[in-house]
Amino acid sequence: MGLQFVVAPIAARDGELLRRLDERYTVSVFPFLSGRSYPFGPYTDARLRGLALDMVAALHQSTPAVRGCAPHHVLRFAGRGDLNAFLLDPDRQWDGGPFSEAARRLLVTRTAGLARLAAGFDRLADGTAPARADPVITHGEPHPANLMSVDGRIVVIDWDTAALAPPERDVSLIATGNEGIDRYQQATGRELDPAVITLYRLRWYLDDLASAIHLFRNRHRDTPDTRRWWDGLAPGLVQLPTWLELVG
């Protein structure tokens, strides 16, 4: 496809890109890159954001080469089962680990809002189905941490989430206003749907919240990772009213 920014895995002698280790794990090997990556989070560098938009635009326009073999992305968020279980019985105490009850107490006062938001996600997904009917090949997570500067050029790594999906799946993580959206539309000639952009941004938000619920409802220990999730829970819940307004 001629996409020089794609850091692809190295093929084995038999041409395969993946090697199954057991029922749970599969391994692939990538080339070692000497360069620097960027911090995880929203784009703060306008130049880097523009380059990212140009790269996903080029990626999306290469769809005909992989349409017959690429998987389709399933629109859902992780931890939904745990979120539903919590909403059905929010007063049931959690005893899985050191952060369980504190997390439940933070969440229990927001049960109505969480239920409304999950239902709003489903309505938005149903309502935008026609707009999502013509997918392109997407990266899935084109945030700054998946970009690297190598020998004066920018490359994109971490392609395990690549799949056919609406272009808004990628653009929603890069564009922060009409300028970014306009740049993509001019490059591709394809008009983006604001409702689909909202849908994919909401999917990320619900994915984080529901994943935190999954973590703290179940057995866990006090580790740097669980502390990071704990530290992010309250700030994440502060955003809940804003998301409720967006989905109506």
Pairing of strands 147-150, 153-156: antiparallel
Maximal CA-CA distance, the chain = 56
Rounded Cα–Cα distance for residues 86 and 102 (Å): 14
Task: Kindly state the average pLDDT of the residues 159-187.
Answer: 93
Q: Domain extents for the chain? A: 19-247
Out of 3.90.1200.10, 1.10.580.10, 3.60.21.10, 3.40.50.720, select the CATH number for domain 19-247: 3.90.1200.10
- Judge residue 63's burial from the number of C-beta atoms within 10 Å of its C-beta, 0-12 exposed, 13-18 middle, 19 or more buried: middle
pLDDT digits (tens, 9 = 90+) for 65-78: 999 999 999 999 99
Handedness of CA 236, 238, 242, 243 (dihedral sign): positive
pLDDT at 248: 81
pLDDT at 236: 96
Note the pTM of the prediction, 2 decimals: 0.91
Confidence of residue 48 (pLDDT cuts 50, 70, 90): very high
**CA angle 151–29–4, rounded 5-degree value:** 35
Phi, psi of 16 (to 5 degrees): -75, 150
Examine the pLDDT at 1 and tell me if it is beyond 80: no
pLDDT digits (tens, 9 = 90+) for 191-234: 999 999 999 999 999 999 999 999 999 999 999 999 999 999 99
Task: Kindly state the average pLDDT of the residues 83-111.
Answer: 96
